[in-house]
Amino acid sequence: MVEYSKDEIINLLNSKGRDILSLLHSAESLRGTDRITYSKNVFLPLTEICRNECGYCTFKKTPEDENTGILMNEAEIFAILYEADKYGCKEALFTFGERPEETDEVKIALKDSGFLNMVDFLHHICDETLNNTGLLPHSNPGVLEKNELKKLKEVNASMGLMLETTSKRLMKTIVHEKSPGKNPYLRIKTIENAGKLKIPFTTGLLIGIGETIEERAESLLEIKRMNDKYGHIQEIIIQNFKPKPGIPMQSWKEPSLMEMIKMVAVTRLLFPDVGVQVPPNLNKQNAQVFLLAGADDWGGVSPITKDHVNPEAPWPELEDLKIMTEEMGLFLDERLPVYDKFISSEFLSHRIMEKLN
Ligand code: SF4
């Protein structure tokens, strides 16, 4: 496999004119498959409370807002999961704010439900999901300690945490100044611990939040360092920042299409064997072009729940996704929340292996 230095990556990310075509050609030919995947999922935002306040967030709410979801109760959760089961969903996606129990309202709601913290509650919900439905849990609970990851591995087919960026500089800007959990050190530690525990892991970068080209290259190299060491990264999401009304960064510009295309292509060059995903709902008009840059996954598509993190951007219908994929001479295929190559007792708990057999 070709190794790329930081300077070479920066040069590729700065490609212009015909060099972009040659970058796309190299990346697309490295994909090595005509199969473009998606996961049929259901999205459960267990709480809308989060200890962070990212400058681009539209998900987090405060306890003062009377419509805030403090903590979903088990009956609500399972009503949705049973519905998802009927629709043939395979992935139960549990995404929510980070360390919500640092907020009193969540702490009390957890206590009332018989749990000391969010990880214990999540473990219970994942356990019951495995017991009572055909779905496989995939959890994104934010930064975690190693013992917490170990506990959740028992009942998750895979887990995820966006690295977003390795830029410590952004911790002093509107982007992450109120988000202790976005300290790259903590995020790298979580992803690294997931590697030590052999948890199939999804991560990714958020593009256009003020990071430089050099910092994009460093972020990719950091993911590569961890994957080379532990081999646990199943998928890298390249997500574009979107300005939205009401957020602190509402007047920021989103990254250009060309920046995104180059980022996807360079990710493919560095990670020939890892899934590369660009969320189609955030790139309605341009999604197909990322397939020319080596992307091979559309991510989770839900027949019954909206994207709670980007509620203004509904997911395309499955039929539309199929047409978009086939127009590019490729074919759409469903995958599980754990990628095929990680289905082994090396990476999955006995519990998950049993469920898959
Ligand atoms: S960590 Fe996620 S949910 Fe929390 S404020 Fe940041 S973007 Fe929002």
- Does residue 315 surpass a pLDDT of 70? no
Give the atom of ligand 1 at the shortest distance from the alpha carbon of 58: 8
CB contact set of 34 (below 8 Å; sequence gap of 6+) = 329, 330, 331
Question: In sequence order, what are the residues at sequence separation of 6 or more whose Cβ sits closer than 8 angstroms to the Cβ of residue 319?
Answer: none
Distance between terminal CA atoms of the chain?
Answer: 34
Contact assessment for residue 287 and residue 324, using Cβ atoms and an 8 Å cutoff: yes
User: Which residues are within 8 A (CB) of 278 and not within 5 positions of it... i.e. 6 or more apart?
Assistant: 237, 238, 239, 260, 264, 287, 290, 295, 298
The predicted structure's pLDDT at residue 314: 60
| Token duo for residue 281 | 């709902």
User: Beta 91-95 vs 35-44: how paired, if at all?
Assistant: parallel
How confident is the model at residue 282, as a pLDDT? Answer: 79
Task: Please tell me the residue having the least CA distance from ligand 1 atom 2.
Answer: 97
pLDDT band for position 19 (50/70/90)?
A: very high
Report residue 326's pLDDT band, with 50, 70 and 90 as the boundaries: very high
Nearest CA to ligand 1 atom 3: 97
Residue 1 is predicted with a pLDDT of 75
Which atom belonging to ligand 1 lies closest to the Cα atom of 97?
3
pTM of the entire structure? 0.95
- Residue 278 sits at φ, ψ, to 5 deg, of -125, 125
| pLDDT tens string 173-225 | 999 999 999 999 999 999 999 999 999 999 999 999 999 999 999 999 999 99
User: Which residues are near ligand 1 (CB < 6 Å)?
Assistant: 50, 52-54, 57, 59-60, 97-98, 179, 181
Q: Radius of gyration of the chain from Cα atoms? A: 19
Token representation of residue 300: 């989770």
Domains and CATH numbers, the chain: 6-356 (3.20.20.70)
Query: Could you tell me the distance, in angstroms and rounded to a whole number, from the CA of residue 162 to the centre of ligand 1?
Result: 11
Q: How many CB atoms lie within 10 A of CB 304?
A: 14
Q: What is the pLDDT of residues 94-121, one digit of tens each?
A: 999 999 999 999 999 999 999 999 999 9
- Looking from the CA of residue 56, the nearest atom of ligand 1 is 7
Q: Which of 43, 59, 103, 177 to mutate to test the pocket of ligand 1 (most atoms within 8 A of CB)?
A: 59
Read off the pLDDT of residues 268-277 as tens digits, 9 standing for 90 and up. Answer: 999 999 999 9
Ligand 1 probe mutation, 48, 53, 54, most atoms within 8 A of CB = 54
Interval between CA 350 and ligand 1 midpoint (Å) = 32
Separation between Cα atoms, residue 160 and residue 93, nearest integer Å: 10
Q: Please state, in angstroms and rounded to a whole number, the distance separating the CA atoms of residues 147 and 281.
A: 35
The three-state DSSP-derived secondary structure of 58-116 is CCCCCCCCCCCCCCCCHHHHHHHHHHHHHCCCCEEEEECCCCHHHCHHHHHHHHHCCCC
The two three-digit tokens of residue 320, written as one number: 């539309």
Of 43, 48, 52, the residue with max ligand 1 atoms within 8 A of its CB, to mutate for a pocket test, comes to 52
Gap from CA of 142 to ligand 1 centroid (Å): 9
- Is residue 215 within 8 Å of residue 209, measured between CB atoms? no
Give DSSP secondary structure letters for 128-196: HHHHHSS-EEEEE-SS--HHHHHHHHTT-SEEE---B---SGGGGSTTTTT-GGG-HHHHHHHHHHHHH
In this structure, are residues 53 and 171 in contact, taking their beta carbons and an 8 Å threshold?
A: no
User: Alpha carbon of 346 to those of 23, 135, 232, 338: distances in Å?
Assistant: 35, 21, 10, 13
The CA-atom distances, in angstroms, between 231 and each of 139, 141, 147, 274, 353 are 19, 21, 20, 10, 19
pLDDT bucket at 308, cuts 50 / 70 / 90: low
**Which residues fall within 8 angstroms of residue 331, CB to CB, at 6 or more apart?**
34, 35, 36, 325
Q: Which of 47, 48, 57 to mutate to test the pocket of ligand 1 (most atoms within 8 A of CB)?
A: 57
pLDDT in tens, 39-76: 999 999 999 999 999 999 999 999 998 889 999 999 99
For residue 338, give the 3-state DSSP assignment.
coil
State yes or no: pLDDT of 249 exceeds 70: yes
**Do the beta carbons of residue 138 and residue 92 sit within 8 Å?**
yes
User: For helices 74-86 and 118-132, what crossing angle results, to 10°?
Assistant: 40
